[in-house]
A and B are shown apart, each in its own frame.
With several copies, the nearest count.
Chain A
Amino acid sequence: MIERVLIANRGEIALRILRACRELGVESVVVYSEADAYSLPVQLADKAICIGPPEPINSYLNVQSIMSAAEVVKAQAVHPGYGFLAENPEFAEICLACDLAFIGPPPHVIRLMGDKAEARKRVASWGVPVIPGSPGEVDTEEEALAIAQEIGYPVLMKAVAGGGGRGMRLARDEDELRQVFNTARSEAGAAFGHAGLYVEKFVHPARHIEVQVLADGEGNVLVFGERDCSIQRRHQKVLEEAPALISQVLRERLFQDARLVAEKVGYVSAGTVEFLVDEEERHYFIEMNTRIQVEHPVSEMVTGLDLVKEQIKIASGVPLELEQKDVVSKGWAIEFRINAEDPRSFRPSPGKVERWVVPGGPGVRVDTALYQGYEMPPFYDSLVAKLIVYGRDREEALSRGKRALAEFKVEGIQTTIPLHEAILGSEEFREGKCPVDWLERFVW
């Protein structure tokens, strides 16, 4: 087993990884920026090492600093968490070149899945349904118009290098496409360093259903069930649940396709195959996320298993002890992403946490790096806590979510707790099967 892991991240996911290390008896070293000197992961880690000033580019994205830290503390592996360097194939390569295990899939898998157009092409070639669209990158407006003509409007223009819902533009007709094509290209260039776009049919109304997989690189691929992540704001997930309200027939198709993708691509570690599902329960591959995801706890809650510990064991070369029959989904879990934001304007609200009383009791899990008295730095994303509730069935999970949100007491910063309470209060949400644009239209 790996004996010392460098955690190249911050906040709740750094703490999540630290917890997994602790339980495995693995030493954890947390790297941190000057802004995070008082953070909980730094306080709890076996060792913490400052790698730079607050700005991510100089610290959490500073490969040289992180590699130096790994070297001086004699780490044997690096866990990148999500965000920052988690899906950077060069970083994974550098780790391997330095004899550090990268806790994630091999670089070529990250690279392939990072190229959304190429990934789509490859996945389609294996017989997995993809959304009708351009066979690859489209370079000109005319090319885009021709494809849109063929697959029918509305269409989405998506950045080849995008992902996580970023870098998308909708065109409902020819005029709109002409209007937004160049904007979309330059945005993609600015945001991802690559202006490449592809064109896709806009499936609407659609739900976002994803499948968690875990593979050990020895040919064992486990499917950890599906998650419904349709509650989104600006393509950012807000609330996720497992399982999804879908037919068993669809579930089996999704599992089969997710497994196929993981097997064909030679996947290793935890990953997520994302699908759109339309009203007739047709499913389309969107992308594969080659990292542990923010919403992984809902799958842990319904299976009773620990994905991050499995990641570390796999990176240590320990073959999976689990078999598919051990992964049984039972009950219902919902995750509420709680951000330090004004719940209506979504303006970030960093500051000093004057009061912080987290919910507890049965069926409640809280993943957070905040504590009362903590001064939230303004440099990083606004996720401050993940509240995950578990119940025997969806109804119990909903009522438990409601009571847990009501007992979550925060002062000093604003949070999106009221938004989640409003979502839980909505009849449409309680009925389930909300499409991905539901929250954008939700009035409260």
Chain B
Amino acid sequence: MDIKDLLELVKELADLPVGELELEIDGVKLKLKKAGVQPVAERVETPAQSVATPSLQPVSPTQDGTPQFPPDAVVIRSPIVGTFYRAPSPESPPYVDIGDVVEKGQTLCIIEAMKIMNEIESEVRGEILDILAENAEPVEYGQPLFLVRPLS
């Protein structure tokens, strides 16, 4: 990792909804905090912030869920807009159920968008703690789908 990579990284981060980052890679340690952006987890905890945030909450489910997730869990979100299917066909059993242990790269569900079936794979090895969307219902970008507890 050289200085160019680093700048690239910092620039990329600037546009992403990331508040803080700590990185240790190839002997390089990096710690970044974005200006004026409070990490989402903290925003939920501090009650004073309610003054600053708009008082009308958007209907979007992207906004509502964060606080209730256990801190050690990973949220797998929909990368696209589409219809959420838990199984490859109405007759098939679901890809996964609560309590299942999934491998990294294992298919968790399908998001159908424009007649194309997009398989969504697990980003981690872990246990499915919860399934957060309803079968055959529309999901939007960034909507939480699965809650997974990572296992090593």
A–B contact, 8 Å CB criterion (strictly below): yes
Which positions in A face B, CB cutoff 8 Å?
32, 34, 37-38, 42-43, 47-55, 59, 64-65, 67-69, 71-73, 98, 352, 354-355, 371, 373-374, 379, 409, 411
B63 at the interface (CB under 8 A from A): yes
Q: B15 touches which one: A43, A49, A51, A55 (CB < 8 A)?
A: A55
27 A-B contacts (beta carbon < 8 Å): A34-B17, A34-B62, A34-B141, A43-B54, A43-B56, A43-B59, A48-B59, A49-B140, A50-B62, A50-B81, A50-B143, A51-B81, A51-B141, A59-B141, A64-B114, A65-B80, A68-B81, A69-B140, A71-B114, A72-B81, A354-B55, A355-B56, A371-B54, A373-B53, A373-B54, A409-B56, A411-B55
Specify which chain B residues have a CB less than 8 angstroms from the CB of A67 in the assembled complex: 113-114
B80 touches A68 (CB 8 A): yes
Q: B142 touches which one: A34, A48, A374 (CB < 8 A)?
A: A34
B16 touches A53 (CB 8 A): yes
A317–chain B nearest beta-carbon distance, Å: 25
Considering the chains assembled together, what is the distance between the CA atoms of A73 and B15 in angstroms?
29
The A contact surface, by secondary structure, is mixed
B93 at the interface (CB under 8 A from A): no
A72 touches B17 (CB 8 A): no
B58 touches A43 (CB 8 A): yes
Specify which chain B residues have a CB less than 8 angstroms from the CB of A71 in the assembled complex: 82-83, 113-114
Specify which chain B residues have a CB less than 8 angstroms from the CB of A52 in the assembled complex: 141
A65 touches B60 (CB 8 A): no
B141 touches A65 (CB 8 A): yes
Considering the chains assembled together, what is the distance between the CA atoms of A411 and B59 in angstroms?
18
Considering the chains assembled together, what is the distance between the CA atoms of A53 and B141 in angstroms?
8
Which positions in B face A, CB cutoff 8 Å?
15-17, 51-56, 58-60, 62-63, 80-83, 113-114, 138-143
Question: Closest 8 A-B residue pairs measured CB to CB?
Answer: A72-B138, A68-B113, A68-B81, A50-B140, A50-B141, A49-B140, A69-B81, A38-B54
Closest chain B residue to A65 by CB distance?
A: B81
Q: B58 touches which one: A37, A65, A371, A379 (CB < 8 A)?
A: A37
- 14 more A-B contacts (CB under 8 A) besides A37-B63, A69-B81, A409-B56? A32-B60, A37-B60, A38-B53, A42-B60, A49-B81, A49-B141, A50-B60, A50-B81, A52-B141, A64-B114, A65-B80, A72-B82, A355-B56, A373-B51
Closest chain A residue to B83 by CB distance?
A: A72
A258–chain B nearest beta-carbon distance, Å: 38
A417–chain B nearest beta-carbon distance, Å: 15
Considering the chains assembled together, what is the distance between the CA atoms of A59 and B142 in angstroms?
12
Considering the chains assembled together, what is the distance between the CA atoms of A34 and B141 in angstroms?
8
B138 touches A73 (CB 8 A): yes
Considering the chains assembled together, what is the distance between the CA atoms of A37 and B56 in angstroms?
11
Considering the chains assembled together, what is the distance between the CA atoms of A51 and B81 in angstroms?
6
Considering the chains assembled together, what is the distance between the CA atoms of A294 and B6 in angstroms?
41
A260–chain B nearest beta-carbon distance, Å: 39
Considering the chains assembled together, what is the distance between the CA atoms of A409 and B63 in angstroms?
20
Specify which chain A residues have a CB less than 8 angstroms from the CB of B54 in the assembled complex: 38, 43, 371, 373-374
A69–chain B nearest beta-carbon distance, Å: 5
Considering the chains assembled together, what is the distance between the CA atoms of A356 and B43 in angstroms?
22
Considering the chains assembled together, what is the distance between the CA atoms of A69 and B138 in angstroms?
8
Considering the chains assembled together, what is the distance between the CA atoms of A54 and B82 in angstroms?
19
A59–chain B nearest beta-carbon distance, Å: 8
Q: B59 touches which one: A47, A55, A59, A73 (CB < 8 A)?
A: A47
Considering the chains assembled together, what is the distance between the CA atoms of A68 and B51 in angstroms?
35
Considering the chains assembled together, what is the distance between the CA atoms of A54 and B17 in angstroms?
9
A51 touches B55 (CB 8 A): no
Closest chain B residue to A54 by CB distance?
A: B15
A37 touches B16 (CB 8 A): no
Considering the chains assembled together, what is the distance between the CA atoms of A373 and B53 in angstroms?
7
B113–chain A nearest beta-carbon distance, Å: 4
Specify which chain A residues have a CB less than 8 angstroms from the CB of B62 in the assembled complex: 34, 37, 50
